[in-house]
Amino acid sequence: MPVVEARAVTKVFRDFWRRPKVRAVDGISFEVRRGEVFGLLGPNGSGKSTTLKMILGLLHPTRGQLAVLGRSPREVRAKARVGYLPEESYLYPYLTPDETLDFYGRLFDLNARERKQRTAQLLEMLGLQHARRRTVGEFSKGMARRIGLAQALINDPDLVVLDEPTSGLDPLGCRQVKDLILTLAKRGKTILVSSHQLADVEDVCDRVAILYSGRIQAMGSVQSLLEDTHQCRVTFPDLPAAQMQPLLAAFRTALGTEPGIEHPRRDLEQFFLDVVEKARRAGGESSGAAATQGVADYLKAPASPESALQNLLPQPAAPAATPPPSAPVDNAAALREADEKLKQLLKPGSGA
């Protein structure tokens, strides 16, 4: 059973006199399967948020069917296992982060102990521990966004719906959100993200649908959509010209044409991360969101029936001590390293 199933869903916004005004979503059909990261891509106003709001029951489809976890999105019961980050953080300005997360935790009927534990872990993960006593109203956009993200995860949801999760976040936060998405996916959680940050989507999504003016223009796995099966890239360390020459000659003979050759570039994201990390090590203080690594412990617990029980056991300290990636050369290496880190994080008893 797919986690989200949309069949010919159409949304027409009407004006006060019920005359059709905008056709925001136009007969889209797709399904999101258990454990996958599904991306909704599209330019501004293409209907991404509208689609997500329908999946959450905040809007009702004009036509077509929607099922979330096998239920109508308007059913209250279905919501216990869903986490949602809206496009903007609609938080209560007079609450502190602690109170905010505690409030949403109560709505999920979590007991006091669990709420306290999860709140602490989420704030640690999102680097907002030092701002616990300030009210959310005075937070910067990115800080508020982080609280929004935390409230979406407080119930350890099976389906996480993130509407442009990286908007307003610094590159560090972006990287972290992406790590988080990958970690959650590894635990068998289903994630539905919308974005127009193509690089973000490419890094984390298994499958994507590209929306344009309310219609799906392309859909499939990122691999299948982007793979250029006619080309191939080989990477090896930079060699002295003397050693390079015979290699190139061999290529030339085999291909019959000149092979492309260039130094791989670090991407700007990785470069930025490195610079910030250096500055942080040099001891710069910031009143904004602190640079942190890793993922809250309870979000990494194996997704098994015992997980609830495990949450009650004393938790090991969060793995804040994991060293940051040490200036890898290219994106592939960064991803590999991230993968390594995640693997390590996912090992039972990690972080102890």
Partner 1 sequence: MRTVWAIALLSLRNAVRSRVVVLLLAVLVLGVIGIPLTVKSDGTLAGYVQILVRYTLGFSMGVLLLATVWAGCAAVASEIQRRQIHLLVTKPVSPAQLWLGKWLGLVILNTVVLAVCASVTYGLLRWNTRAGQLSTADAQKLAGEIMVARARVAPEPFAVEPRVRQRLADLQTRGELPTNMAPEAIYKTLLGVAQLEAHTVAPGGKITWRCELPALGGSAPEFQVRYKLAAAALAPLRLQGRWSVHRERAGQPFELVTEHPAQGQQSLTVPGTALAGEGALLVEYANLNEAGVTLLFDPEAGLAVLVPVGGWLSNFLRALLISDCLLALVAALGVTAGSLFSLPVAAFVVFQLLIMFSTAGMIHSFATREASFAAALPGMVKAPGWVDVVMSWFYRMLEVLIMPMQNDDPLAMVATGEWIAWPVVAWTFVKQILLASGLLLLLAAAALRRRELALPTD
Question: Residue type at 179?
Answer: D
Name the minimum Å distance from CB 281 to ligand ATP: 36
User: How far is it, in rounded angstroms, from Cα 68 to Cα 75?
Assistant: 9
User: Pattern 26-65, binding to ligand ATP, x per CB under 6 A?
Assistant: ----------------x-xxxxxxx---------------
The greatest distance separating any two alpha carbons of the chain, rounded to the nearest whole angstrom, comes to 78
Closest CA to 304 of 150, 158, 190, 119: 158
- In the complex, minimum distance from the CB of residue 238 to partner 1, in angstroms, rounded to a whole number: 51
Out of partner 1, ligand ATP, Mg ion, none, which partner does residue 90 contact, by CB within 5 to 8 A per kind? partner 1
Q: How far is the CB of 91 from ligand ATP (least distance, A)?
A: 19
Does the protein bind Mg ion through residue 87 (CB under 5 A)? Answer: yes
Tell me: does residue 151 bind Mg ion (CB under 5 A): no
Residue 103 within binding range of partner 1, rule CB under 8 A: yes
Please give the full DSSP string across 85-131, using - where no structure is assigned.
Answer: E-SS----TTS-HHHHHHHHHHHTT--HHHHHHHHHHHHHHTT-GGG
Q: Check residue 139 for interaction with partner 1 (CB under 8 A).
A: no
Residue 12 in the binding site for ligand ATP (CB under 6 A): no
CB of 79: closest distance to ligand ATP in angstroms? Answer: 21
Nearer to partner 1, 105 or 325 (CB): 105
Contacts of 322 (CB under 8 A, 6+ apart): 293, 294, 341, 344, 345
The tally of CA atoms less than 13 A away on the side-chain side of residue 316 is: 12
Q: How far apart are CA 226 and CA 345, in angstroms?
A: 29
The first and second tokens of residue 310, run together, are: 């495990």
Q: How far is the CB of 344 from partner 1 (least distance, A)?
A: 33
SS3 call for 340: helix
Q: Please choose, out of 19-27, 67-75, 281-289, 322-330, the segment that lies near ligand ATP by the rule CB under 6 A.
A: 19-27
Q: Residue 67 binds which one of Mg ion, partner 1, ligand ATP, none, with CB within 5 to 8 A depending on kind?
A: none
Determine, following the binding rule CB under 8 A, whether residue 64 of this chain makes contact with partner 1: no
C-alpha–C-alpha distance, residues 77 and 85, integer Å? 19
The residue range among 42-50, 107-115, 172-180, 332-340 that interacts with Mg ion, by the rule CB under 5 A, is 42-50
Segment interacting with partner 1 (CB under 8 A) among 1-9, 75-83, 173-181, 327-335: 75-83
Work out the burial of residue 184: count CB atoms within 10 Å of its CB; fewer than 13 is exposed, 13-18 middle, 19 or more buried: buried
80 lies in the binding site for partner 1 (CB under 8 A):
yes
Report if residue 165 touches ligand ATP, rule: CB under 6 A: no
Q: Which residues pair with 39 in a beta bridge?
A: 193, 208
Q: Token pair for residue 105?
A: 């935790």
Is residue 87 involved in binding ligand ATP (CB under 6 A)?
yes
Q: State how far Cα 322 lies from the chain centre.
A: 20
Interface positions with Mg ion (CB under 5 A): 49, 87
